[in-house]
Amino acid sequence: MAEQRSFDDRDGFIWFDGKLVPWREANVHILTHAMHYASSVFEGQRAYGGRIFKLREHSKRLRRSAELLGFDIPWSTEEIDAACGEVLEANGLTEAYLRPVSWRGSESMGVSPKGTKPHLAIAAWNWGKYYPPEKAAAGIRLDIAPWRRPAPYTAPVHSKAAGLYMIASLSKQQADARGFDDALMFDWRGQVAEATGANAFFVRDGVLHTPTPDCFLDGITRRTVIDLARKRGIPVEERAIWPEELESFEQFFITGSAAEVTPVQSAGPWRFEVGELSRQLARDYDDLVNGRQA
């Protein structure tokens, strides 16, 4: 397997504060506020055949995430959309992953962000399936995360904020070390929440069950899959799910822009089948993002 090239040493262009700059020159100062105090928000989105799926929703969410952290991105939703398209074209990409990121700069240093300037950058690169097809077909294995999603009164949980991913990163690190593909996170109450970067769905008796996103992101892919399920007449229940209930579910899959729709074969001590309903929704999602259905 070829070694992955470092993300700071690549050819191509990154859109940075209103213009395209060579990839290796898209840098920030070591005293950037975001690096020290996590004043940063981002998006993860995919392009299929040169079309960025749900681009407008992603750009809107990016701006809303920044607002929840107390700063305004000085580019409109339409300008962010256009910049994403510009990045794809400049790098000659049609199948790609895009990472818009906005952060507070280095104009002042301290807990208070007063006086800092908001910045925006957008990068794009070739990125295939998050999980190899053979692994996804068999279902991934999840550890149980040692960290929990915080209560809404303790953090801006509906912002896609970099700081909220610290516990996800730690949980994924432990899962990797223990030989798992990812980790299932519970919330501060002990309820089932999500994987480290993807929402969770469970199947029982032909009904989809998914945790209510009251302390984590209501993902764009999550909402898309709910729509696809309802188009097929599959009932969807959004509700509190407790770990004791997991043994009663037949299937489990996760959803996200990176993971798309990926079946799960196990989460901690709980086992699941990779069933037809999960496979059907994965096919439906693949058809939708690739323009094979409306």
Task: State residue 1's pLDDT score.
Answer: 38
Res 126 pLDDT > 60: yes
CA distance 10 to 157: 33
Is residue 79 in a domain?
A: yes
The residue assigned the tokens 């259905």 is 293
Across the chain, which distance is largest between two alpha carbons, in Å? 57
Res 294 pLDDT > 90: no
Which pLDDT band, with edges at 50, 70 and 90, does 146 fall under? very high
Task: State residue 5's pLDDT score.
Answer: 83
If you write DSSP's letter for every residue of 206-226 in order, what string do you get?
Answer: TEEEEE--SSS---HHHHHHH
Domain count within the chain: 2
End position of a domain, from candidates 91, 125, 159: 125
Instruction: Find the mean pLDDT for residues 141-157.
Output: 98
pLDDT above 70 as % of the chain: 99
Instruction: Find the mean pLDDT for residues 163-173.
Output: 98
Query: What domain range is 105 assigned to?
Result: 13-125
Catalytic residue among 54, 60, 117, 160: 160
Q: Which two tokens stand for residue 169?
A: 């990163």
pLDDT tens per residue, range 44-85: 999 999 999 999 999 999 999 999 999 999 999 999 999 999
Q: What is the CATH number of the domain that holds 270?
A: 3.20.10.10
Same domain membership, residue 30 and residue 169? no
State yes or no: is 160 an active-site residue: yes
The total of other beta-carbon atoms located within 10 Å of residue 15's CB is: 25
Q: What does pTM read for this prediction?
A: 0.95
Is residue 5 in a domain?
A: no
pLDDT tens per residue, range 211-253: 999 999 999 999 999 999 999 999 999 999 999 999 999 999 9
- Helix (H, G, I), strand (E, B), or coil: what is residue 58? helix
Give the type of residue at 277. Answer: L
